[in-house]
Structure 1
Amino acid sequence: MEKMMSETTQSGRKVGAEVTVSMDGYSGTGPEDDMSWAMAHISSEQSELYYEGIWRGVSTALLGRTNWEGFTSVWPAITSDPASSPRTRDLGTWLAAVEKIVFSTTLETYDLDQSEWTNARVSHDVVGEVKTLKRQPGRDILVLNSASIIQTLLKADLIDDLYLTVVPSTLGAGTRVLPDGHASSWRLSSATSFPVSGAVSLHYERA
């Protein structure tokens, strides 16, 4: 099982980014993407166990506006559904309560108060906010599947752990995760295969 992200160290909190991508490198087809191309993996019991090993080591989650709106529109119902697995309900409870920073140029914190989720606020400065968070006490920080935030933090050399889950689908177009024109070096920490869905998760650490 994937090793949990580390507790706070003297060098500061680590920043991880978790994202699901297609074989041709896209994390979605656009704002209306229903993620149907990845749901066979996302909804599998094997993936639940893997993701649990990541999020239980995190005390701050970072999201973009699109993911915030998408997550809050579906997760409260999933969390309260008795048919959901215990791990899924645990994840939903964690998402609802964990500190969440939503990066947006159009939302304000009072907009987030309309959601059933709590402990969320808006920030407009990705790099500045993350640098501040890294200096604060707490467990690690995780970007939840937001390509724009991941690209910004990669360019600023602020991502320590990159969790790429590649599913056996191609999209042909959409939103790419890795920024063009940016070079960096990484070390493979672990690789996890999921026979049921055919996906592979790769955990890279900054070299």
Structure 2
Amino acid sequence: MAQDDGGTGQGQRKVVAAYFVSLDGVAEAADRFLTGWDDEVDARGSELIADQDTIILGRRTYDEWVGFWPTSDVEPFASFINAAPKFVATSTPLESEWANSSVIEGDLVEFVKDLKSQPGGDIGIHGSISVTQTLLAAGLVDELQLVVVPTIAPPAGQKKLLDNLPPIKLETVNSAVSSSGYVLSTYRVVH
């Protein structure tokens, strides 16, 4: 699979962070603010995972997902996430086993730098806000794929995706509005 270098000229794998976010930027517990689903959102998700062959997860996301995805029939994501190598950012051993999962040994930033230099498809980050923030701040995320839900999420302790980050320049790659009113946007991080 030929990899688009995203205009970086580096010829490396891309790190792609994908999230559902509310209009006010909340990305945590998206199931609390999702207002519907449509074919365009489904198609965007299928396109996203078609280019990914590796996943980076935070410990909290791993612990939440290991109880659902290994036995899920929500396709095509279930087949994808269960088969893909999953690297988990944590300092403690994984308590529950999930096929193709392993703990990141050492520093997350250094691990991802090394992973990007290896052959393969895109590296996905799904549902792990702190991992995404760390890698964005380190200049290692190449693309943000956001589905903006037209709602304002309740603020009760919900994490926002882009809080507490240094200035980061983005270029809009594409944007469309789905039939449910979701804004589907892809942004390239300008390195």
Scaled by the length of structure 1, what TM-score is found?
0.80
Q: Per the alignment, do residues 50 and 8 of structure 1 end up closer, same or farther by CA in structure 2, a change over 3 Å counting? A: closer
Structure 1: unaligned runs, 5 residues or longer: 80-87
Stretches of 4+ aligned residues off by more than 3 angstroms: none
- Determine the structure 2 residue equivalent to 1:100: 86
For the residue of structure 1 that corresponds to 2:47, the secondary structure is: helix
Whole-Å Cα distance in 2 between the matches of residues 25 and 34 of structure 1? Answer: 11
For the residue of structure 2 that corresponds to 1:50, the secondary structure is: helix
TM-align CA RMSD: 2.1
Q: Per the alignment, do residues 75 and 105 of structure 1 end up closer, same or farther by CA in structure 2, a change over 3 Å counting? A: same
Q: What do residues 56-85 of structure 1 show as CA deviations (whole Å, max 9, x unaligned)?
A: 101111111222122222223432xxxxxx
Aligned length: 183
Whole-Å Cα distance in 1 between the matches of residues 2 and 172 of structure 2? Answer: 16
Deviation at 1:112, TM superposition (A): 4.2
- Determine the structure 2 residue equivalent to 1:46: 40
For the residue of structure 2 that corresponds to 1:18, the secondary structure is: strand
Instruction: State the identity %.
Output: 28
More helix, by proportion: 1
Structure 2: unaligned runs, 5 residues or longer: none
- Determine the structure 2 residue equivalent to 1:203: 186
Scaled by the length of structure 2, what TM-score is found?
0.86
Aligned pair partner of 2:59 in 49, 62, 65: 65
State yes or no: 1:126 paired with 2:108.
yes
| Matches for 1:16-35 after TM superposition, within 5 Å | 16-28=16-28, 33=29, 35=31
Q: Is the 8 A contact 1:6 1:57 kept in 2?
A: no
- Determine the structure 1 residue equivalent to 2:141: 159
Q: Per the alignment, do residues 57 and 181 of structure 1 end up closer, same or farther by CA in structure 2, a change over 3 Å counting? A: closer
Q: Per the alignment, do residues 132 and 68 of structure 1 end up closer, same or farther by CA in structure 2, a change over 3 Å counting? A: same
- Determine the structure 2 residue equivalent to 1:145: 127
Q: What do residues 105-132 of structure 1 show as CA deviations (whole Å, max 9, x unaligned)?
A: 33x14x242xxx3111012522011011
